[in-house]
Amino acid sequence: MEVPMPIEYRLFMNVPLSDIKCSRCGVSSNGFMRGQVQRSKRFLGFLWRRPYCAIICHVCKGIIGHESGRR
């Protein structure tokens, strides 16, 4: 059984990469697992929407930031 990809995977295909650099490695993200790792979209349950798709360093595999699935 194949697990379907999140919709954000396709949303980010043609969106330019962010220029955030990893604090450990000092390299920029190359889109590693872009849109596939997510956290809750809401902060405090319902009050504020926040960026929820993780930006992951392709060298050390750490989360270096978050971006929103909607542009």
Q: What is the pTM of this model?
A: 0.71
User: Got the DSSP string for the chain?
Assistant: -PPPPPHHHHHTTTSPPP--B-TTT--B---TTTTTSB--SEETTTTEE---EEEE-TTT--EEEEE-S--
Q: Supply the pLDDT for residue 70.
A: 57
Number of CB atoms found within 10 A of residue 34's CB: 21
Q: Supply the pLDDT for residue 38.
A: 82
Q: Supply the pLDDT for residue 47.
A: 65
Averaged in consecutive runs of 10 residues, what is the pLDDT profile of the chain (71 residues)?
Answer: 78 83 87 82 69 87 82 49
Q: Supply the pLDDT for residue 27.
A: 87
Q: Supply the pLDDT for residue 30.
A: 85
Which residues have CB under 8 Å from 37's CB, separation 6+? 53, 54, 56, 63
